[in-house]
Chains A and B, each alone.
Chain A
């Protein structure tokens, strides 16, 4: 089963709105990362949050991490059509640093 599981599976919003997606995981992690993927290729690393951090910002992105609930959220503020993509969370388990676990992703569509 997937270590990271995102919800919702799909999200459709208009430009200017905020997009929020969540990720839940099962085991202890060293850090959690969010990636974006366009057209089924080319994952791009967005942001990393360590297990001892609770919130992190990067531009229009805000990531939170709640290790007690084993969950994370990614917020994209003031969305743009160019934000249309699939977003994946990836967890780095504490017992296997090389073995990232990806969820199935959230497909975000931003309409002008």
Chain B
């Protein structure tokens, strides 16, 4: 597609429920990244994919968080047993390759997750 697409754009869920966030990167971008941003804060790295593999998962806050990418394209970020502290905007970005120069990342508009 023309840009990075994330869905849903907004999600309200009850504490303890599982949620799945989707990211559809720009076609041809091999690298895909997940970040989250809490209210008024900077971006916190979660995980990045090169193709279907995740060389760096160090940012995932707990084992309730997992992510996968299939076919080198769409990625899903799953949060199990959501907690109120999981409330944030979850941003996805893609690039031609990790750290690729010149163009930076292209970000999606994010999914605003609210856990009540």
12 contacts between A and B (CB under 8 A): A30-B99, A35-B104, A40-B37, A45-B105, A48-B104, A98-B33, A98-B98, A99-B58, A99-B59, A100-B33, A100-B105, A105-B42
Q: By the criterion CB–CB under 8 Å, are B89 and A45 in contact?
A: no
Chain A contacts of B56 at CB under 8 A? 96, 98-99
For A90, the chain B residues whose CB sits under 8 A away are 43
Are B42 and A99 neighbours in the complex by a CB distance under 8 Å? Answer: no
A92 & B99 in contact (Cβ 8 Å cutoff): yes
> Which chain B positions have C-beta within 8 A of A25?
none
CA–CA, A31 to B98, complex, Å? 12
Question: How many A residues touch the partner, as a band?
Answer: 20 to 34
Looking at the complex, which one of B31, B42, B107, B109 makes contact with A104 (CB distance below 8 Å)?
B42
Q: Report the minimum CB–CB distance from A95 to chain B (whole Å).
A: 10
**Which chain B residues (97-116) contact chain A, with CB distance < 8 Å?**
98-99, 101-107, 109-110, 112
Q: B99 — which chain A residues lie within 8 A by C-beta?
A: 30-31, 92, 97-98, 100
Q: In the complex, which residues 36-56 of chain A have their Cβ closer than 8 Å to any Cβ of chain B?
A: 40-45, 48, 50
Residues 78-109 of chain A, each 1 if its beta carbon lies under 8 Å from chain B, else 0: 00000000001010100011111111110000
Q: Does A111 contact B (CB under 8 A)?
A: no
B62 interfacial contact with A, CB 8 Å: no
Closest to A49 in B: B101
A71: Cβ under 8 A from any B Cβ:
no
Shortest 7 CB-CB distances between A and B: which pairs?
A97-B99, A45-B104, A98-B48, A102-B43, A98-B98, A104-B42, A97-B98
Q: Which residues of B contact A96 (CB under 8 A)?
A: 56
Given contacts A31-B99, A88-B43, contact A98 B110 (CB under 8 A): no
List 20 additional A-B contacts (Cβ < 8 Å) besides A35-B107, A99-B56. A30-B99, A30-B101, A31-B101, A33-B104, A40-B89, A43-B93, A45-B104, A45-B107, A48-B103, A96-B56, A97-B98, A98-B33, A98-B56, A98-B99, A99-B48, A99-B59, A100-B43, A100-B45, A101-B45, A102-B44
Q: How far is the CA of A98 from the CA of B41 in the complex (A)?
A: 21
> For residue A30, which residues in chain B have a CB less than 8 angstroms away from its CB?
99, 101
